[in-house]
Amino acid sequence: AARHAEDLRGLGAERVVESIELAEGLFSLIAESVGGNSFAHAIERVAPGGTIVMFGSSSGELTPIGFRQFVPGHEGARLQTFAYYASGPEVGADIASLLALIAAGRLETRVVLTVSWRDVGRALDALRQRSISGKAVLTMTE
């Protein structure tokens, strides 16, 4: 966790907390991948007009949500999903947006592991165990 916090500070984060329950104040952007109770707390922390990007549900818990969780204090906030494993035209548009941010220098990517596609297990193990802090790239060569 400390390694990830340092990485986030290096990318410009003013403050890093280990869980949404420890966060104070309201935030314009919240990336939520846990679901359940964590997602409920994220709704409590989103600023008016802010966005919560849901990109997973590792807890497996459902989160009951309703209109009253957004008012008062979170008016105009929105929920957006991002499914990096899905296919279709929406994913292409998302990837194009990310590439445009990278090209403009507004989003930094950090590749920390490059392996042959034949060794995909090594990359998956590193990602599952969170032993790398960055991106893994599979190369495809003959």
| The length of the chain, given as a count of residues | 142
Q: Which domains does the chain have, with CATH numbers?
A: 2-109 (3.40.50.720), 110-142 (no CATH)
**pLDDT, tens digit only, all 142 positions of the chain:** 566 777 777 777 777 777 788 888 998 888 888 899 999 999 999 999 999 988 888 888 999 888 888 888 899 999 998 766 666 666 677 778 888 888 888 877 778 889 888 888 888 888 888 888 778 888 887 5
pTM above 0.75, yes or no: no
Is residue 24 classed exposed, middle or buried when 0-12, 13-18 and 19+ CB atoms within 10 A define those classes? exposed
Candidates 112, 117, 116; CA nearest to 135 is: 112
